[in-house]
Structure 1
Amino acid sequence: MPKLKTMTLEWTGDSVVFVDQRKLPLEEVYVRCTTHEETFAAIKDMIVRGAPAIGASAAFGYVLGAKEFDGNLNSDEGIRYMESVKERLASSRPTAVNLFWALDRMHKKFLNRLSSENIIDILEEEALTIAHEDIEVNKAIGKYGAELLRDGDTVLTHCNAGALATVDYGTALGVIRAAVEAGKKISVYADETRPYLQGARLTAWELMKDGIDVTLISDNMAGWVMSQGKINAVVVGADRIAANGDVANKIGTYSVAVLAQRHGIPFYVAAPLSTIDLLTPTGKEIPIEERSHKEITHVQGMQVAPNNVKCYNPAFDVTPWNLITGIITEKGVVRPPYDVTLKKLFD
C-alpha cells in the first residue's frame, strides 16, 4: 500500500507517526502509534490537534484497530469489536466534528465491505483517501480565500489553522499561503492563543519556515492593533460549524470576531465541508470541551498561578453567525443567510 508523510503525520503501513505538537517549536519530537489506543491518546493529549488533522488521524487509528483484531472481522464478534474501536476513538475530543465524520466514513466502508477478504487493505486505502482529499480540499480553500485578500493586506489569525492542524497546507494559513503563491505581498499578525499557545508556538513557526512576514502579539493586544489600522482582514479556522453558521473554534475566536466587527474589519472562517454539521442547528448545541486547569495555571510546565485557585478552561468558544463575513470552503465562499447557503453546498 502507498504510504504518506507530511509535516503533521506519517502513515507507515503498520503505524501512524506524529510530530509532537506539544514540544514545538523548541523540540522536534516524534511519537509512533501502533494501536488504536495509542492513537486515541495522541489525539486526546493533543500530540496531534486541529479538526481536519484529528479526523485523518482517527481514520488511521481505525485501521490500526482492525489490524489488532485476532480473529475474523466478518464475524459478529469482529463487527462489535470495530464498533468499540470507533467509539473509543470518537471519545477522544468532543468538539471537532471532523473526528466523527472520518470515523463514520471508515465504519461505513467497513460494514459495506464485510465480505471482502482484503478488508484491512480496503480500510487502509480509505484512510489514505481521506488524508489525500484533505490536502486537495485545503488547496481549494486556499484558492478561493486568496481571492478575498488584496496585495499588501495584513491578516490577523487566531490559534493554528495551518499545515499542523490539517494533513498538510492548512485552512486559514492555506488562504495566506495561496495568496502569497499568487504573488501577493501578505503580512500576518498571529495571536499567541492562550492557554495552549498554538499561535505563538505553531503558527509563527510555520509562517517563518515559509518566509511569510509574521508578527506575534498577545491575545489582549488584538483590539488595539485593529484600532491602529494595522489589520485588513481576519481569517481563522473552525472545529465545527452549525447549520445556522455559528462557528466553534479555539477559545478567544469570539472576542476577535467582536473586535473585528467593531472596527469594520471582515472576519472570515476557512473550513472544509467536513467541518460543517447540518445536524447541529445552532452553536448552542455544540459540545464545548473543558480541559485541564493546569493549562491555565502553568505555562510550559512552570506554575504561574496560586496553588488551588479555581479555574475554568473551555477549549473552544462559539462565534455567532452574524459576526462572520464569509465562510471559505472547497466549493467557494458562502455568505449569510448561512442556514440557506451552507445547505446548498451539500445539494
Structure 2
Amino acid sequence: MSIYNDILDQQGGNHRAAGDLHEVLWSRLLAKEDPRFHNVRLAGGDGGVDGIIVTDPALGNVTVFQAKFFKNITQKANRDAILESFTRAHNHGFTVSEWVLLVPVPLSTKEIDWLSSGELQRHAGARLDISRKCRLDQCVVKYREGSELERLAERNLTVTADLLPKSAKALQKIIATERRLKTRLQLEIVDRLRTINEDIIRQRKIETVRAQSALKALRKGWADHTLMLDQTRRENAAPGLVQEYTRDFMEFIRQRLDLAFMTEGLCEGISVKLSEIFATTFHLSAAAGRAQIPNMKAEKATMWKLLGTLLDQCREFDIELAKAVGKFV
C-alpha cells in the first residue's frame, strides 16, 4: 500500500484531493504506456469516464478507465460508487468494449470475485434504456491495482517525481535529459492530443466521406507552407524573418492537432509525424531567436540545419497525406 500512502501523504491526508491526484497519476502513466490513452473531462463531472482508448474509431468502440482512490472495495459505499460509475460509462454515445477499474491498492480474491460476478452489468442493466442495455453483454470488466501503479511509477520517474515530490520515488535517479526542453515539449504535444471532450467522443463513428474530408482538411495549406520554407532557405532570409514565420507555422500546426488524432486510423503514424514537425519548428524558432544575438554565428548554422530538416519533414508529411487521400478516391 506504499503508493496509496504516498498519494495520501502528498495531499496532507485530504482524501478528496488525493483522489484527484490518484486519477492524474494513473492518466499520466497510462499515457506513457500507451499513447492512445486520453484523459477525459466531461461537462458536469466525469460521467463514469476518467480516460479512454479508442479501439475502433469507425464503430465507436472504446476502452473506458475509471480511477477510484479506495483502500478497499468491500465497503458498501465504495461498491455503490463503482456501480454508479460503471452505469454512467454506458450512458454515452460510444460503445464500451472494456471497462477498467484503477485502484491504488492490491485487490483481494473476494474483491476480484465481486468485480467478475456480473453485479456491475446487472446494476447497469436495471437503469439503462434498452438501446444501451444491449451493449452490456459486449463489455469486459477488468482492473489494474496498486502493484501495477507501483511498476508504472518506477518506470516513469520523471512523471512520479513531478506528481509525488514528497515520496521516496522522487529521490531515485532522474535522468537529466528527460528534464530538457525537448522532452517537456513532446509531453505537451501528447497532452494536447490527449485532450478530448464529449463532443469529440460522440464523433468517433467516422464514415468514409467524413474521413476523406478530414484528410483533405488536414492536408490543406501544406504545399504553400512547404514552398514558403523552401523560399526562405533559398533566399537566405534573416533570422528575424525565420523566427516570425516559424511562429505562424506553429499556430498552423496547432490548429491541425485534433484532425491528426481523428485521422490516425486512416493514416498510421500521422499524429506522431505532426508532433515531430511541431517539435522541429519550435527548436527552429528558438535557434532563429538566438541567431539574432551578436557573436552567435553557431546558432545561425543550427538554424539553417533545422530549416532543412523541417523542409524534409513537411515534404514527407504532404506525400503521406496525399497517399491517404488517394485511398478514398
Q: Give the alignment's TM-score, normalised by structure 2.
A: 0.26
**Greater helix content:** 2
Q: Give the alignment's TM-score, normalised by structure 1.
A: 0.25
**Greater strand content:** 1
